[in-house]
Copies of this chain bind each other. A is one copy, B any other.
Amino acid sequence: MISAIQAKLGELHGWLLPHDDDYLNEYLPAANERLAHVTGFTGSAGIALVTQEALHIWVDGRYRVQVRSQVPAGTQIHHLVEEPIGDYFSALPQGARIGFDSFCVSARQLAAWQEAAPQVEFVHQANLVDALWEGRPALPHSPGFALPVAITGRSCQDKRQALGQAFAARADWALLAQPDSLGWLTNLRGGDVPRLPVLLMRGLLHKDGRLKLFVDQARLPAEAELGDGVEVLAPDTLHYELAALKGQKVLVDEALTPAALALALKDAGAVIVKGLEPTLVPKACKNAEELAGMREAHLRDGAAVSQFLCWLDAIVAKGQRPDESTLADKLESFRLAQADYLEPSFDTISAAGANAALPHYNFRNGAPAPLPQDGLYLVDSGGQYPLGTTDVTRTLAIGQVTAEQKRLFTLVLKGHIALGSARFVKGTCGHQLDLLARAPLWAQGYDYDHGTGHGVGQCLSVHEGPQRIGKAANNHPLLPGMVLSNEPGYYREGAFGIRVENLVVVSERQAEGDRPVYGFDNLTFIPMDRRLLDLSLLSEEEKGWWNRYHGEVLEKIGPRLEGESLAWLETACAPL
């Protein structure tokens, strides 16, 4: 495949091959797994360049180890952040030509490369890979299904009108290029992409609330309630509609919009108004009905994961040490027994012993390891339900654990408790709170190289913006109803990995002062492993948090379990 691309390069210095497809999503349908098809690399982010001489690939720190075992011998591997591809471009000679599919690169990314390397010509072409890919899977065409207003809390018409009013002063139209934005806006879901329950559609929303929705009409379910003013158009007519926007002001979020669409608007003579995609903040701030659904989904999920943890303790006690794949399958079987369960919200990270030191370990990339005789097991998993999306990590003691493992688990837990207990004023952004989750580790000279919290959708993406808790600046204030993960960790290469993750929702708090105060309420109710505690490191307040949390777990999950599982839960949730 690589030599076939090289044979087609002609005058091009190279062909650019991002992980992203034309929806710029983390999750892709099989037909768009171009990077994996060409290079073998199956990570969720990365970019390759096929030149006349070589295959180059850029991946981030998470995939340093994995990429080496997946790409062909001789591939030049670069660090996505430390040796950015922009540096490679800027070192190219004057007039060098790079071919690429401008649907698979955001307008912002292209602009950044053009600024870094003004001497390079980026040549938009039909996708070379698609032309060469024999046996490429069909593009998805799943049937859509509608979520009732009882779940979404708002009709499509209501959302469209509110959104249009919100941007009317700045623009005539908003280009909505992301399927999950349209899923939220239309209350429609689908099965086009594994792990992300959407239909791959785009939209043009007018300031008066009218919507041009680009999707095959046949895929819309009979029960869809789109309201007045929605025109359903064939997906391939989008470029005609964009070409007709001459002189119109069009709101474009350059980070979320393929360069091809932004360029089409420019060519059409539309005035591009740069700004945040208008669905992002309303989608992130769950309303009362959405939150009620998220809570119920977490209780179902909590019952399933608790059953798994009970089963795990029992078989470990019998001396069994199944492998990571068997464990993930067993966990999935408990979720499948829950009402309305759709699918995992991401590929389960089932990581035994040293494998857990890779925060994004995937047992599917090699031979699944068995549980250690003595050590730690980390399981990070989640489910999609029509009512909501879940994501939880528990770290578990298998056999005997060391005093050091307990100490580090307890430091991670202290950070989790501190962030979960935070009180902060209106206007606070995620980067301002990140320290809380790290401070107990930092004090002893430890840290973790990933973010602390990502947004989560309601039966949508498990990684949703715009809010985020991490070291890097994120200028979107945390608002009531936003759902985030709280997931500090610690990773020791070649030895073990620890992560403690709940989902939480931003909620109002009572306070006497001048400003509104917010905090986090837990959505996840699943026991943590008390066998990993070093009680000497916990303050009385922290022990109180543990006991209150586990009291709530028992109260909420207990009624959903029976027999052995219920007995296990009662023991797991007993006060310290």
Contacts and interface: CB of A to CB of B under 8 A. Distances in A.
Interface of A: 422-425, 428-429, 431-436, 438-439, 441-447, 471-473, 475, 492, 511-517
Given A422-B439, A424-B435, A442-B517, 18 more contacts: A424-B439, A425-B438, A425-B442, A425-B445, A431-B432, A432-B434, A432-B471, A443-B511, A444-B511, A444-B512, A444-B513, A445-B511, A445-B515, A445-B517, A446-B513, A446-B514, A446-B515, A473-B473
A271 to B, nearest CB: 12
Contacts of A436: 435
B473 A443 contact: no
8 contacts: A422-B439, A423-B439, A443-B517, A444-B517, A445-B511, A445-B513, A446-B515, A447-B515
A390 B435 CA distance: 29
Contacts of A438: 425
A475 B423 CA distance: 25
Nearest to A445: B513
Contacts of A428: 442
Contacts of A515: 445-447
Contacts of A433: 435
A439 B512 CA distance: 15
A512 B473 contact: no
Contacts of A447: 425, 514-515
A242 B203 CA distance: 52
Nearest to A436: B435
A442 B511 CA distance: 9
Most chain B Cβ neighbours within 10 Å, of A425, A445, A472, A492: A445
Contacts of A443: 423, 511, 517
A304 to B, nearest CB: 36
Contacts of A444: 511-513, 517
Contacts of A424: 435, 439, 442
A551 to B, nearest CB: 23
